[in-house]
Chain A
């Protein structure tokens, strides 16, 4: 087990380096002056430009620049933006908000998706099954920003049931944006667990459990569910990272002060240090979650061994 984790951690390093290098090159290789418009309505003084070029090592070849950036990163220094704001400060401010939003979305997705999947998977070809199939079809087809605007328009502006924008990013305040963010993946989770349940329902161990005289609730709740949830858990785990990266749209609609808005503004204003810093954090979340998921699957299914 320990060896497996160590090997996985080592395997993460090339992926991490590749991803951050890709983003770094793309961000800093943008044609045009990175310091245009950074000093208000006048041109930046030469002293400022040269100091900034020094700060970001812009006169070195891009590989050396990236190396310098990585060295600082390992020391815990995310660098500063061109206006002197510490990138790490901004990340600390916005990261918890987006994490909260992603967690709310994950819980919504898991609860609604798995419930719908189990209910329809246990009853093949019934009314509930068709209902789940049709509603997931619709959820998959509606882009998240359409869902977001329709929810905001109907429930926020016309009916007045919810506040159209998020004023305080607490767990309670993020329920509606979380629901919108999760809407697409919720449908996938429902379909995945439905397929998995209806496959496992006919497995030999289920028949054995039934023959032993176990109550239906125990067969479904313990035997079937535990075995069926493995692909679902895999999907859910990688989705946390996807939620954090994909929250840009939802955050924009509901005015949530999270990573999404920050990264979008930073890309537009060419704040390279901010973009690379944020992407680094998101990639780390993604990599750690894939590892956690793999370990979790071994807990659920003892047949999976890591050697």
Chain B
């Protein structure tokens, strides 16, 4: 199961290691490098980082300008060529409806990427804001947020998404934007507790540090303490989580679409294609294997990037 919470297992970094990046004042030449500067130097030297970055750029290019890669119409189906094997005309063959699989794989990139990026943004934004506020203030806001998170984590992920999505889907036919928004919403709704817990524990640890106490003693407002002192020091673990989660959410989108409740026609995505191809796997395996391959490579690229970023940001692993 693509459980993004599992991806967080390695995301916890030692808090004291991050203190180095403390006061983020104006950069000066002779200033010692901060955590992120160090991490960048570390990253630049890794081949794995560059492989994943080039893969991701390619995928983003596919998503932004699909017309560069194919001139075939992804929505044009000709039953006369149904389930034809790959050939020079259509590199990936045709599916059961006579759609060009290559054209649909290229055009399906956008939906998969958009869902992944928006779901990650939603998860990380909701989770970080609630997490840092709960960690900083403690008391009853912390208790409420933590209990709500407990409840949401208790619901099995796929099951919760199925129930949420069938409630949202009940309205019947919907526009493409709405279908995408529903999937993004349900993923973010069920995943924000993971980001919240990571941010909260980082904030609780950072709150005890001397520089935070010093800032408060100097009369800094809670707002300033959170934005200038806590946030830069709690960012690293959430950043690592969000890179891995981006890959995981693309996989989750495909899983939900495969089950027939995530994205659906008229939206084209890799999951939608796999859903359509699964019943003809014996006679036309290519219609399933090509989108599945693209899906895997994309998720792999993001997971690799997450791995590289984590190793660069965690001084213990150096």
Known contacts: A185-B6, A264-B259. The answer to whether A15 contacts B154 by CB under 8 A is yes
Measured CB to CB, the residues of A under 8 A from B are 14-16, 18-19, 22-23, 26-27, 29-32, 137-138, 140-146, 149-150, 152-153, 157, 181, 184-185, 188, 191-192, 195, 231, 235, 241-246, 248-249, 252, 263-264, 267-268, 275, 279, 282-283, 286-287
Chain B residues, CB < 8 A from A15: 147, 150-151, 154
- Interface contact B147-A18, CB-CB below 8 Å: yes
Query: Closest CB-CB distance, A99 to chain B, in whole Å?
Result: 14
For the complex, give the distance between the alpha carbons of A22 and B190 in Å.
12
- Interface contact B155-A283, CB-CB below 8 Å: yes
Known contacts: A18-B151, A235-B9. The answer to whether A245 contacts B156 by CB under 8 A is yes
For the complex, give the distance between the alpha carbons of A29 and B163 in Å.
11
Among listed B37-45, B116-124, B230-238, B295-303, interface-contacting one: B295-303
Chain B residues, CB < 8 A from A231: 9
A-B contact pairs, 27 of them (CB 8 A): A14-B150, A14-B151, A16-B154, A18-B147, A19-B151, A19-B154, A19-B155, A23-B160, A26-B164, A26-B167, A137-B303, A137-B307, A141-B299, A141-B303, A143-B299, A150-B289, A181-B1, A188-B6, A191-B9, A195-B10, A241-B156, A242-B6, A242-B157, A243-B1, A245-B156, A248-B259, A283-B155
For the complex, give the distance between the alpha carbons of A145 and B158 in Å.
13
Query: Closest CB-CB distance, A277 to chain B, in whole Å?
Result: 13
Chain B residues, CB < 8 A from A185: 1, 3, 6
Least CB separation from A248: chain B residue: B158
Interface presence of B180 (CB below 8 A): no
Known contacts: A241-B156, A268-B166. The answer to whether A18 contacts B150 by CB under 8 A is yes
Chain A residues, CB < 8 A from B218: none
Chain A residues, CB < 8 A from B247: 141
For the complex, give the distance between the alpha carbons of A47 and B289 in Å.
51
- Interface contact B154-A184, CB-CB below 8 Å: no
**Chain B contact residues: over half helix, strand or loop, or mixed?**
helix
Which of B1-50 touch A at CB < 8 Å?
Answer: 1-3, 6-7, 9-10
Least CB separation from A276: chain B residue: B163
Residue from B7, B151, B171, B281 in contact with A31 in the complex, judged by beta carbons closer than 8 Å: B171
Which of B273-316 touch A at CB < 8 Å?
Answer: 274, 278, 281-282, 285, 288-289, 292, 295-297, 299-300, 303-304, 307
Most chain-B CB neighbours within 10 Å: which of A16, A22, A191? A22
Query: Closest CB-CB distance, A148 to chain B, in whole Å?
Result: 10
- Interface contact B167-A245, CB-CB below 8 Å: no
Size class of the B contact interface (CB-based, 8 Å): 35 or more
- Interface contact A30-B9, CB-CB below 8 Å: no
- Interface contact B259-A249, CB-CB below 8 Å: yes
- Interface contact B167-A246, CB-CB below 8 Å: no
- Interface contact A153-B255, CB-CB below 8 Å: no
Residue from B166, B278, B295 in contact with A143 in the complex, judged by beta carbons closer than 8 Å: B295
Chain A residues, CB < 8 A from B251: 141, 143
Which of B122-170 touch A at CB < 8 Å?
Answer: 147-148, 150-152, 154-160, 162-164, 166-167, 170
Residue from A149, A157, A181 in contact with B292 in the complex, judged by beta carbons closer than 8 Å: A149
- Interface contact B281-A149, CB-CB below 8 Å: yes
Known contacts: A235-B9, A242-B3. The answer to whether A31 contacts B170 by CB under 8 A is yes
- Interface contact A29-B255, CB-CB below 8 Å: no
- Interface contact A246-B156, CB-CB below 8 Å: yes
Further contacts, 4 of them, CB under 8 A, given A15-B154, A143-B295, A279-B159? A26-B167, A137-B300, A195-B10, A252-B259
Least CB separation from A268: chain B residue: B166
- Interface contact B254-A143, CB-CB below 8 Å: yes
- Interface contact B156-A286, CB-CB below 8 Å: yes
Query: Closest CB-CB distance, B314 to chain A, in whole Å?
Result: 10
For the complex, give the distance between the alpha carbons of A30 and B169 in Å.
9
Which of B67-125 touch A at CB < 8 Å?
Answer: none
For the complex, give the distance between the alpha carbons of A23 and B166 in Å.
12
Chain B residues, CB < 8 A from A248: 158-159, 162, 259
Least CB separation from B154: chain A residue: A19
Least CB separation from A144: chain B residue: B1
For the complex, give the distance between the alpha carbons of A184 and B7 in Å.
11
Closest 5 CB pairs of A and B: A245-B156, A246-B1, A18-B151, A141-B300, A141-B299
Chain B residues, CB < 8 A from A264: 162, 259
Least CB separation from A282: chain B residue: B156
For the complex, give the distance between the alpha carbons of A286 and B151 in Å.
11
Query: Closest CB-CB distance, B164 to chain A, in whole Å?
Result: 6
For the complex, give the distance between the alpha carbons of A166 and B289 in Å.
22
Chain B residues, CB < 8 A from A246: 1, 3, 156-159
